[in-house]
Structure 1
Amino acid sequence: MPLNQAQTYLVCYDIADPKRLGRVHRLLREQGIPVQYSVFTAQLTAKELGRIIAGLVERIDERADDVRIYPLPSRPETTSLGLQYFPDGVLLIEKGKDLLRALR
């Protein structure tokens, strides 16, 4: 992937310590959109992904915490069941291949 081309990622985490959990959540909130507890989606270039990974490495305990980053296809097929949660003011809109963050 070219350094300036963004790709959508799903970032999931299980952090054992509440202090580290807060730090990880704040870091991911800067670049991504929370879609469930401990799950974010983010449009990232390779450089941005590298920064996120470096920030996560600084904030987690690799012996106790689990962070997973999954690249998503450009047009993922999804099924959603039950209550859908997005923070107030966040609306996801599909436009072409990009997920946009739109404020209401």
Structure 2
Amino acid sequence: MASERPALAFVIGYDISEPRRLLRVHREMCKHATPLEYSIFLLVGSDAAKDRCLEEIAELINPLEDDVRCYALPARGFQGRIGLASLPTGILWTGLPAAIA
């Protein structure tokens, strides 16, 4: 029996210069990943899922004006937050992937 590979985690961020393109990229990213901030997303999945996401985004951006970056996160890396929590105390967002919940 083949063992399942653990899901990989990637942080994808972008800086899009034109408002209409920005909205299109944001909508497409929401299909593939969980928004952490407006232009920062967490994609939990395979390398193939990450590649599909980036291919879709590449069709929407202007490579001379826009910047999209993707960083792989270590499997057991440090997770922390400084500052105001995104949700009030006692409220849990069950839409977050288990990797960061």
Smaller-chain TM-score bracket: 0.7 to 0.9
How many residues align? The count is 93
Q: State the 1:5 CA deviation.
A: 5.4
- Tell me the TM-score normalised to structure 2 length: 0.78
* Aligned twin of 1:83: 84
3-state DSSP class of the match of 2:27? helix
Q: Which amino acid aligns with 1:10?
A: V
**Stretches (4+) displaced over 6 A:** none
Write the distance in 2 (CA, Å) between the matches of 1:29 and 1:42.
10
Show the counterpart of 1:37. 38
Question: Where does structure 2 lack aligned partners over 5 or more consecutive residues?
Answer: none
Q: State the secondary structure of the residue aligned to 2:17.
A: coil
Provide structure 1 residue ranges, at least 5 long, that are not aligned to the other structure: none
Normalised by the size of structure 1, how large is the TM-score?
0.76
- Give the distance between the partners of 1:93 and 1:48, measured in 2 at CA: 15
* Structure possessing the higher radius of gyration over alpha carbons: 2
For the aligned residue pairs, the C-alpha RMSD in angstroms reads 2.4
Q: Find the counterpart in structure 2 of residue 25 from structure 1.
A: 26
The higher-RCO structure (CA 8 Å, 6+ apart) is: 2
Deviation at residue 81 of structure 1 after TM alignment: 1.1
Task: Considering fraction of residues, name the structure with more strand.
Answer: 1
Q: Following TM superposition, by how much is the alpha carbon of 1:44 offset from its aligned partner in structure 2, in angstroms?
A: 2.2
Q: Is the 8 A contact 1:5 1:46 kept in 2?
A: no
Check conservation: 1:16, 1:65, Cα contact below 8 A: yes
